[in-house]
Amino acid sequence: MENLRKHADRRAVSIALLLAAVVILAVGRFIQFDDTSGFGFEKWNRPLGYVAALVAIGAVAVAAPEVKARLWFGVALLVLGGWLVVMQATSDGFRFVWSVSDGELGILWFFLLLLGVVMVLTAAAALTGGRWMLRVAAYLVATVALCLIAFNLGLGYYGSDCAEGESECLSWLGGVWWAVLTLAGCAVLAIGSEVVLWRRRSSVKELVG
């Protein structure tokens, strides 16, 4: 009974901290629901942003050690990320900006969804014994990291040809192209790895059988 209470406490505390982080972001004006000007990011309160980030990190730290708490927290992240996607698509006044532009809203929901998927997969793997879920989580994280690196390398490579202050520089297209190539390469490697593992397991079964 005491263990169940501890697990429930972790679930409740982690989700409460996540909601608190969202509320703090809203209070700090990082999240706005009524900004149709596109310039609402000039009103944020930076110290509250740092507090929200620390609270969010604390939420992850609370949920991560316990499997069921991690599962519930991952689901909460997926719900939050999905809500942000819907709000971005349906509300002209909805804004999230950390320091630069509205594009950071897309970055936020992308990483929320990614973290949510990873936490759900790792928790499900622990509950069911499905090691393939751990591999999928590892593939996702590695692919995203490599694509980000490729994008920035491409951005720097093609950006060197742009004049300083040039407003129509399309170096970001080069970054996207490098990221797409990296994504394709990661997909091939992941599929190849799974095929190799499947063949090894099949060989072992044949030998045992």
* Model pLDDT for residues 58-101, shown as the tens digit of each residue: 999 999 999 999 999 999 999 999 999 998 888 887 888 777 66
Q: Are 143 and 188 in contact (CB under 8 A)?
A: no
Sign for the CA dihedral angle at 156, 160, 165, 167 comes to negative
Amino acid symbol at 136: V
Q: Are 69 and 14 in contact (CB under 8 A)?
A: yes
Q: For 161-195, how does the pLDDT look when each residue is reduced to its tens digit (9 = 90+)?
A: 666 655 556 777 888 899 999 999 999 999 999 89
pTM, 2 dp: 0.79
pLDDT score of 122: 92
Q: 40, 125, 114, 46: which is closest to 80 by C-alpha?
A: 114
Q: For 33-60, how does the pLDDT look when each residue is reduced to its tens digit (9 = 90+)?
A: 877 665 555 567 788 889 999 999 999 9
pLDDT score of 88: 85
Polymer length of the chain: 209
Q: For 110-138, how does the pLDDT look when each residue is reduced to its tens digit (9 = 90+)?
A: 999 999 999 999 999 998 888 888 899 99
Question: Looking at the DSSP assignment, which residues form a beta bridge with residue 10?
Answer: none
H helix runs in the chain, sequence order: 2-27, 46-63, 67-90, 103-128, 131-159, 171-208
In the chain, where are the structural domains located?
1-103, 130-160+170-209
Across all residues in the chain, what is the average pLDDT? 84
Euclidean distance between CA atoms 163 and 158, whole angstroms: 11
Q: Are 89 and 105 in contact (CB under 8 A)?
A: no
